[in-house]
Amino acid sequence: DRPGERDVPIWVTATAVRDGGNQISRYMAMFSDLSGLQRSQQQLQHMAHFDSLTGLANRTLALLKLEQGMQRAAAQKIPLAVLYIDLDRFKAINDSLGHAIGDEVLRQAGRRLARCCDDADTLARLSGDEFLLISHGRQPESVRELGEHICTSMRAPVVLEDGREIYIGASVGYACYPLDGDSSADLVRNADAAMDTAKSIGRDQVCGYSRAMTEEASQRFELERGLRKALENHEFELHYQPLIQVRSRRAYGVEALLRWRHPQHGLISPDKFIPLAEQNGLIVQIGSWVLHEACRQARQWQEQGLGLEMIAVNLSPRQFIQQDVVALVRTVLEESGLPASMLELEITESALMANAQQGEQTLRQLKDLGVTLAIDDFGTGYSSLAYLRRFPLDKLKIDKSFLAGVPQNTEDNQLVTTILDMAANMRLHVVAEGVETEAQWRFLQGRGCGACQGFLFSRALPPAGLPDWLAQQ
């Protein structure tokens, strides 16, 4: 090659030109430079197979590589494993710090994962914060070690340009070929199920696939199917737990708590199905039903002169973020005829933190309707009272886990006392949850806590039982 010369792919079109006697007199050739086209084709292929954010393989390429790898593994009898990696706190980071930072976190996570791999491995980003690693030649024991190595490396903070440190962490599930599946779809699904288990037993850890998981998954599927039907089949009920004024020990209101009367399994507590309903979005419909039913019931009791001052209803974070919850509350109040001042809405911190700005606005609009706003499960989330100051809240409910240690555990006593003092400072009313003993009640009384609820006074009662209970207290 002479300097400055390079090969250029060209497209040649040649045409024979004939003269009057139909003899070929000359040929005409047209050369077109194809490098531009070739570049865009390569780019297209790259886009079809790689993730533009991290530069890693995408799902399509990963599945292609997995198919090829399985064929090779079967022919040469070498083991193959699929690791499913999901970042632990990514959603919260993305929601609270913004997408630009979310993207940076994903890029850094991708680079870290790449450092955990061998050359022969395939690392892919499947979607969002989910990654897949196809590893060759490792026995199950060594696959687990690789997974642990990944968890360890993801524990170190991600350092942003401005020096801020963010902690993410990862949960890893793996499935081995051919032991845990003999199709690519099975392997990926099983690694994913193992990852779900890693998440559910506390995150930041590795789980191998086991057959028991498929059973769990099919039970979940059953539950989900039932849940979809539960609304139309009128299988939901609200039970009502009395809210007690500490000083007088008298009930001033109730909290509506959801129950599912399952045709086969009987009464199911919300902890068993609400997380699922949150995941699949059904909570939005279920939540509107709850609000309608609670307000209807409260209005009825008001008309019967039962003497309750208020009713508290739980809002799920998802409902709070997705739905036009302000419109819903307005409609429900109008339809039921319940005075807004009698309705209290309980919201968890995480719902507010997920989108603080919108959260603040929504709360103000709700406040304008005249309802009371309470922070539920205080102490289990971010627990920053200073941060909560910006929201127009009326009340704070101390999570029952803090009461459990009162009064024998001095640390819990101190915590509850501190929360009570700070709340008083911020002019927030306080409800202590989970009061089960006289000693707890006395402790709260001594510390000036306004209200409480718990099994000491009553469990959540079916609506028919409440009037009698109130009459006897």
Q: In the 8-state DSSP scheme, what is residue 461?
A: B
Those residues whose C-beta lies under 8 Å from the C-beta of residue 117, and which sit 6 or more positions away, are 123, 133, 135
Name which of Ca ion, ligand C2E, none residue 270 binds, using a CB cut-off of 5 to 8 Å depending on partner kind.
ligand C2E
Cis, peptide link before residue 407, omega less than 30° from 0: yes
Nearest residue relative to ligand C2E (C-beta): 454
Q: Is 323 helix (H, G, I), strand (E, B) or coil?
A: coil
CB distance 351 to 388 below 8 Å: no
Angle (CA) 40 45 49, round 5°: 145
- Choose the stretch contacting Ca ion; rule: CB under 5 A; options: 28-36, 89-97, 372-380, 465-473: 372-380
- Residue 349 is a binding residue for Ca ion (CB under 5 A): no
- Choose the stretch contacting Ca ion; rule: CB under 5 A; options: 37-45, 239-247, 286-294, 312-320: 312-320
Question: Within 345-404, which residues bind ligand C2E (CB under 6 A)?
Answer: 376-377, 400
- The pair of structure tokens assigned to 373 is 């706003």
Q: Site for Ca ion (CB under 5 A): which residue of 85, 377, 396, 453?
A: 377
Q: How many residues bind ligand C2E (CB under 6 A)?
A: 22
- Choose the stretch contacting Ca ion; rule: CB under 5 A; options: 22-30, 172-180, 278-286, 343-351: 343-351
Q: Is 374 helix (H, G, I), strand (E, B) or coil?
A: strand
Phi-psi region of 106 (alpha: psi -120 to 50; beta: other; left: phi over 0): alpha
- Choose the stretch contacting ligand C2E; rule: CB under 6 A; options: 32-40, 132-140, 360-368, 432-440: 432-440
Question: Within 247-286, which residues bind ligand C2E (CB under 6 A)?
Answer: 257-258, 269-271, 274
Q: In the 8-state DSSP scheme, what is residue 157?
A: P
- Residue 205 is a binding residue for ligand C2E (CB under 6 A): no
- Which CB atom, from 193 or from 311, has the smaller least distance to ligand C2E? 311
Q: Site for ligand C2E (CB under 6 A): which residue of 184, 316, 336, 362?
A: 316
In whole angstroms, what is the distance from residue 6 CA to residue 366 CA?
A: 69
- Residue 458 is a binding residue for ligand C2E (CB under 6 A): no
- Which CB atom, from 31 or from 455, has the smaller least distance to ligand C2E? 455
For the chain, the straight-line distance linking the first and the last C-alpha, in angstroms and rounded, comes to 100
Q: Min. distance of Cβ 327 from ligand C2E in angstroms?
A: 18
Q: Site for ligand C2E (CB under 6 A): which residue of 102, 110, 147, 287?
A: 287
- Residue 329 is a binding residue for ligand C2E (CB under 6 A): no
CB distance 136 to 80 below 8 Å: yes
Listed residue (152, 170, 168) closest to 160, CA to CA: 168
Name which of ligand C2E, Ca ion, none residue 460 binds, using a CB cut-off of 5 to 8 Å depending on partner kind.
ligand C2E
In whole angstroms, what is the distance from residue 170 CA to residue 166 CA?
A: 13
CB atoms within 10 A of CB 60: 12
Those residues whose C-beta lies under 8 Å from the C-beta of residue 30, and which sit 6 or more positions away, are 12, 13, 14, 15
In whole angstroms, what is the distance from residue 175 CA to residue 184 CA?
A: 11
Q: Min. distance of Cβ 41 from ligand C2E in angstroms?
A: 51
- Residue 314 is a binding residue for Ca ion (CB under 5 A): yes
- Which CB atom, from 107 or from 429, has the smaller least distance to Ca ion? 429
Binding site for Ca ion (CB under 5 A): 314, 346, 376-377
- Per CB under 6 A, residues contacting ligand C2E are 241, 257-258, 269-271, 274, 287, 290, 314, 316, 376-377, 400, 433-436, 453-455, 460
